[in-house]
Structure 1
């Protein structure tokens, strides 16, 4: 997009700020300047010349020999233009000048035997137009010798700025000026609108009907009568031409001017060509034909939004108008269209028709729904100034479903945490205020903000922090020569979550990712959900308070395609209200949870095993294995849960008297809602709590330099005694040289005695600093045998 520096200065005072500084600052703010055209440099050494004398070249019939003055000196110039004549004021390129069109340098030369000390230029050679019929003849009142760029107001700096798709607000001069206002902390100056309106209202002269409010949420119309269509005044033509547009007439030029001034596309209809003076916004008929302003016939689809009158279409909404309602020299009465269209609809239509216009480019990125009336009034003001006429009072504002204002918060400590450096609170306020964010309330900890309607890309706190960072300047991030770190053990969150995933994958579970948005009736059954301010649909009106609905929906989807034996897990955050309404970040809980579920058959019929369905004990077995692998040095207990909530029956997972999870069978009424006709067993684990249980210190452990010593023993004991109890006793009474105990055999036979079994263990001894002696290992080994025999009334096998 082309931006004129002179035009920018209408909205912000840039006194004392160089062009290079402006370019550098807005580039660091995320608006990349791709090209800079300094018109003064383009026309360097090109001045206003006066043709004192023009006669035929003595050696060429088609050439003229001229004497041109720059007010100080006369120059001999050979000219080939047929329209050169004595007494003209002309653009004169001196020796050393570089001609803009062609980029060739003027040098002193001999042409057919006569010396030429410069060049009289045409409009094409100067890059002003394509006219090359002859030299450019200037206003005779211009003083010879002054710079051509100053005389013709071609002293601007034009910047080609690459605007990213999310920054639709920057697709205008005021949008760029707003960013510069925040960067340089200078006030933004918006044009003052003062209208001289008639007593007749726009509603009395025209009507607007919206039949598809989803595709056209708002349509504003304003009428100006008795205008005179003619050439635009110089100031308007200069503005239009500075950004590469061709002036057409005063009304069309005004709409183009406002498009690049504020970013709101407008369209001017000849009101007298509209049947019944009425606008109807509706979708097209399938395969309907329509001729656009470029005189091409377009084939429309039923999804294309059209602007129609009472009988026929008159424009493709947000893309291009039609020939049947365009403004011509005979036009007297104007209806100004200033609307907001659904970006997705405009994008689809423009892409399908391969018809990209300045209007569609902005509409498909999202315009400002609240600037529509301002833009219509601004257009009416400028049309009256340039075309005369009478402005009808008020506006037709068809706005059936008003869009609510967006609000958000930003915390000062969060800014520091995200950016890694502190920004003064007052500076933060100034940046946000200059960008148009309204501060609704503030304290020492945070700001409550109203998001301006032109910032479609800002929704969350992190978006606000990004705005602060880019305006403050990424180049202002302080250099840190020393980095302080703590030697305290901390949980590496990504490492921990990866370990959770890998452990569950190893147990046979498949990871799923579900939508974090739920319909209200589902969300309220599983907690205290938070509603969304502007939901895309009723199916996504609340943030999930539990992971259960998501995993049940995934199970249901699989059952519908006859996948019945399932093992799923999901890691995600849930949100629950603490109070009835959210007034701050302390009014809701945000917790990371793990959910895993099993359903269907644990095994199908095979020759070596009977068919069996998953049950509660399968789930609890998975959980015990999962916890032992994830946190091998931590102990967990299980107790019956008296408040089952979503479960028919369940047990709590306890660690050091704190509940960290729950295992249970999902209630049938929940399964029925999701069309599930088989039992589902699930576990929910609070990962935020479990992360704090044991932090892992990652480091290199030196390889063992000394040999290990192994001892084996087996005991016959009561079959009801669990191996875990024996292992715990061995670890309790073993010396510090004992590092590992491994159960390697379980044997039951009538030969051992009724109700007896044999457990065999391998013991691993070593010391990192020396070689062990036979005596010290044997002493510990014999002591453990006595302890086990005494504690469990066990008998050592082979003794």
Structure 2
């Protein structure tokens, strides 16, 4: 964003250099990325003066040249000139020796003392194009002026020069997207008074052209103001206005449009001018038009409306996409004589949607979608009307229409002095705090010993919390005025959990990548058809996108499954079939009263365990390969092993449901071919999905390791014959309860089902590892522990102990 230093001085007087101003702005958070010098005429006509041709005669050695003498103010110089229209007595523009002029190609050349066909020439009488004042080269410029000879040509042509600072505006500082906004910060930084635009001379000339304004969508258009101006003459803008716009990198168009652009960059309030004679029945309606309505914008492109754009309409149809782009049929042109001038406050959300869906980014939408000042429309409207009368003539032919049924209130924020000192890291006197805030137009209300209430005007859309108020104090007080302490520390107003979730996620990522898994990141947008065809996702819980780019990206995902399967398909189609992937991501759900988000961790495993090799035959991955990964992951988080339940439900052929009490934390299993076919994956896929947000709550931090015990570990084996319906999880629960602290680990090293045992039975060969970290286990203690285990197995799960 470019800001003219000259215009800043109209708001707040200062003598400081541009470099000093740039430094102050940068320190306050408005980072100046560059400074350039603008001149309305390249080179500023330095060394170019007004002169008078005293004599003019034919050149003795050239038919087409003339030999002249020119008074350039206190000195008469000889100049050889080739212009056909040069003659005695003319007032002309002279580039003296040493002056630099520009060429049409953008290069420069210096005027030197020379001999032309044997005659001395000390300067050049200039044509229009040689000075950068136009394109004509038919002859020299002849002036009609009484200015004394030697007057700098820059004074005659009113050359405008200004420094222009370019600010890298951050998205939160919408209030500073104008000269007035930057001047407000300078007011606080320099402690000087700010001069607002004077509209005291505004008056309605007559009421001959009133406009009927109807706002049907007050939610998206809280305030809409306007007036009419008649009998104007559309023409090029005066030099000062053109120079102002050119300094900011804008191309002048005509006086009416240029004034609206001037107000936008000056006050931060976008305006729009409609050709009033093209507004049906002088009626303006603010509303949304039906989906599919055709609308042709100023760039002559026909666009299909989505039904979500806010439109400015008349009784026949759309005139303008509100706050974004004007319509082709209602714009101001050279034949316009009457205008309706609009000044409004629109909801940032509706402007953002309209701008995004049509790919239209304008200076107006840039400001509206970040948040403009709802108190500015009428002031800006009156200022623009006065400028139009001054520059384009005409008369104001209607009262100011101001539809503002529900005024936007100031924001009230409670602030405590203790929080100010703690976050800044330095005690700042209360009086200084109050002074800084008042200089920023933030009123200090009801101060007491502990704090105060800050009253924030609505144009500061980024100041809504106590921390924001403290940031405002600090950036004006000066970061450089807060000394660093000997020890590093941080202060926060919000509460922070003891568990570092980022660290846990990083460590789990390390674990998975160490096991050969690759992390993927997929799009949160997905196909609506997945929910309708999957059999386990609910269509009514789809979070639909209003401004969808395509049907394939029409909803937010309810599961990380399908976006991950699409990655598998992409790799498999390129002959990469042995794949291990994981992803941390968010799932989204629509609920009756709003929306819900869940953090998930998904793990995909497909293909062979290892690449084919002569050392061993290739072997397909199996369920234990993935379940082992989940076990190690939970162990890494210090989360106790959950209960498991065997399930046969979508999206799996078979799976284990992991539960902690009644809370489901995830599933691990083999996906059904119906599900994988939806994503065009033609091979078996093992898939685990875990509720990452819930695991983080249960995690007791990263696992703490301890020194290996110096007392030996003892292993004892048992063979159990149990009903085939009894799971290992049930066996493990009984063992953990009966084994107590001495039981460190239980494992299965063989499972048997066959004709050697009864039908409906199975045999588990189990290993039990016992250890006491304080002493060596005796045979008596070991036997007592094993007997306790065997009795529990017999009682709890009806096991037959094979001895």
Same fold per superposition (TM over 0.5): yes
In the alignment, the residues of structure 2 paired with residue 133 and residue 215 of structure 1 have an alpha-carbon distance, to the nearest angstrom, of: 57
In the alignment, the residues of structure 1 paired with residue 488 and residue 476 of structure 2 have an alpha-carbon distance, to the nearest angstrom, of: 26
The structure 2 residue matched to 1:119, chosen from 116, 121, 124, is 124
How many angstroms does 1:103 deviate by?
2.7
SS at match of 1:10: helix
The structure 2 residue matched to 1:319, chosen from 314, 317, 325, is 325
SS at match of 1:280: strand
SS at match of 1:191: coil
Partner residue, 1:49: 50
TM-score of the two chains, using structure 2 as the length reference: 0.61
Matches within 5 A, 1:154-303: 154=159, 156-159=161-164, 161-164=166-169, 166=171, 167-198=173-204, 205-211=210-216, 213=218, 216-225=221-230, 236=241, 239-240=244-245, 242-243=247-248, 251-272=256-277, 274-282=279-287, 288=294, 290=296, 292=298, 297-303=300-306
| 1:711–1:397 distance in 2 versus 1, CA, 3 Å | closer
Q: Does 1:336 find its partner at 2:334?
A: no
Partner residue, 1:663: 661
| 1:358–1:713 distance in 2 versus 1, CA, 3 Å | closer
Post-superposition Cα deviations, 1:480-537, rounded to whole Å, max 9, x if no partner, equal 676589xxxx86553245558889999x9x999999xxxxxxxxxxxxxxxxxxxxx9
How many angstroms does 1:5 deviate by?
1.8
Partner residue, 1:67: 69
| 1:208–1:729 distance in 2 versus 1, CA, 3 Å | closer
| 1:245–1:569 distance in 2 versus 1, CA, 3 Å | closer
In the alignment, the residues of structure 2 paired with residue 351 and residue 422 of structure 1 have an alpha-carbon distance, to the nearest angstrom, of: 46
Post-superposition Cα deviations, 1:261-311, rounded to whole Å, max 9, x if no partner, equal 21222233454554322223456685757584xxx7442423466544444
SS at match of 2:662: strand
Contact 2:54–2:71 (8 Å) recurs in 1: no
SS at match of 1:9: helix
Matches within 5 A, 1:656-695: 663-664=661-662
Partner residue, 2:14: 14
Matches within 5 A, 1:598-613: none
Post-superposition Cα deviations, 1:329-351, rounded to whole Å, max 9, x if no partner, equal 772x5432113456676677778
Contact 1:340–1:367 (8 Å) recurs in 2: yes
How many angstroms does 1:729 deviate by?
6.3
Contact 1:30–1:470 (8 Å) recurs in 2: no
Contact 2:225–2:403 (8 Å) recurs in 1: yes
SS at match of 2:385: helix
The structure 2 residue matched to 1:95, chosen from 97, 106, 121, is 97
SS at match of 1:197: coil
TM-score of the two chains, using structure 1 as the length reference: 0.61
In the alignment, the residues of structure 2 paired with residue 715 and residue 287 of structure 1 have an alpha-carbon distance, to the nearest angstrom, of: 78
The alignment's C-alpha RMSD in Å is: 6.3
Contact 2:642–2:660 (8 Å) recurs in 1: no
In the alignment, the residues of structure 2 paired with residue 430 and residue 91 of structure 1 have an alpha-carbon distance, to the nearest angstrom, of: 54
How many angstroms does 1:221 deviate by?
1.2
How many angstroms does 1:33 deviate by?
3.7
| 1:683–1:93 distance in 2 versus 1, CA, 3 Å | closer
Contact 1:715–1:794 (8 Å) recurs in 2: no
Post-superposition Cα deviations, 1:93-129, rounded to whole Å, max 9, x if no partner, equal 3333332552333333333333333334445444444
Gaps (5+ residues) in structure 2? 491-497, 525-542, 547-555, 564-581, 588-596, 603-628, 644-658, 665-689, 722-730, 752-764, 791-803
Partner residue, 2:648: none
| 1:112–1:180 distance in 2 versus 1, CA, 3 Å | farther
| 1:145–1:5 distance in 2 versus 1, CA, 3 Å | farther
In the alignment, the residues of structure 2 paired with residue 743 and residue 357 of structure 1 have an alpha-carbon distance, to the nearest angstrom, of: 68
The structure 2 residue matched to 1:110, chosen from 115, 124, 128, is 115
| 1:301–1:423 distance in 2 versus 1, CA, 3 Å | farther
Contact 1:172–1:263 (8 Å) recurs in 2: yes
In the alignment, the residues of structure 2 paired with residue 251 and residue 125 of structure 1 have an alpha-carbon distance, to the nearest angstrom, of: 30
In the alignment, the residues of structure 1 paired with residue 522 and residue 428 of structure 2 have an alpha-carbon distance, to the nearest angstrom, of: 37
Q: Does 1:78 find its partner at 2:113?
A: no
Contact 2:2–2:167 (8 Å) recurs in 1: no
How many angstroms does 1:219 deviate by?
2.5
How many angstroms does 1:10 deviate by?
0.9
How many angstroms does 1:6 deviate by?
1.6
In the alignment, the residues of structure 1 paired with residue 134 and residue 449 of structure 2 have an alpha-carbon distance, to the nearest angstrom, of: 59
Q: Does 1:378 find its partner at 2:377?
A: no
| 1:441–1:139 distance in 2 versus 1, CA, 3 Å | farther
| 1:404–1:154 distance in 2 versus 1, CA, 3 Å | same
Partner residue, 1:23: 22
How many angstroms does 1:630 deviate by?
3.9
Contact 1:63–1:80 (8 Å) recurs in 2: yes
Partner residue, 2:625: none
SS at match of 2:10: coil
| 1:425–1:539 distance in 2 versus 1, CA, 3 Å | farther
SS at match of 2:199: coil
Post-superposition Cα deviations, 1:153-181, rounded to whole Å, max 9, x if no partner, equal 43532415255472443332212222333
Matches within 5 A, 1:191-590: 191-198=197-204, 205-211=210-216, 213=218, 216-225=221-230, 236=241, 239-240=244-245, 242-243=247-248, 251-272=256-277, 274-282=279-287, 288=294, 290=296, 292=298, 297-303=300-306, 306-311=311-316, 314-315=319-320, 317=322, 318-320=324-326, 322=328, 326=332, 331=337, 333-341=338-346, 358-360=363-365, 362-363=367-368, 366-386=371-391, 391=396, 394-399=399-404, 429-439=434-444, 448-456=453-461, 478=483, 494-496=502-504, 498=506
Matches within 5 A, 1:741-756: none
In the alignment, the residues of structure 2 paired with residue 380 and residue 291 of structure 1 have an alpha-carbon distance, to the nearest angstrom, of: 25
| 1:745–1:435 distance in 2 versus 1, CA, 3 Å | same
Gaps (5+ residues) in structure 1? 516-536, 541-550, 559-566, 573-591, 598-621, 639-660, 667-681, 732-740, 749-756, 766-776
Post-superposition Cα deviations, 1:371-426, rounded to whole Å, max 9, x if no partner, equal 21221122233334455665467421234666565555666666677676776665
Contact 1:187–1:434 (8 Å) recurs in 2: no
In the alignment, the residues of structure 2 paired with residue 275 and residue 447 of structure 1 have an alpha-carbon distance, to the nearest angstrom, of: 53
Contact 1:316–1:322 (8 Å) recurs in 2: no
Post-superposition Cα deviations, 1:469-489, rounded to whole Å, max 9, x if no partner, equal 65556666756676589xxxx
How many angstroms does 1:7 deviate by?
1.6
SS at match of 2:13: coil
How many angstroms does 1:68 deviate by?
3.7
SS at match of 1:49: strand
Post-superposition Cα deviations, 1:658-695, rounded to whole Å, max 9, x if no partner, equal xxx983369xxxxxxxxxxxxxxx9999999978x779
SS at match of 1:268: strand
In the alignment, the residues of structure 1 paired with residue 351 and residue 692 of structure 2 have an alpha-carbon distance, to the nearest angstrom, of: 45
| 1:53–1:227 distance in 2 versus 1, CA, 3 Å | same
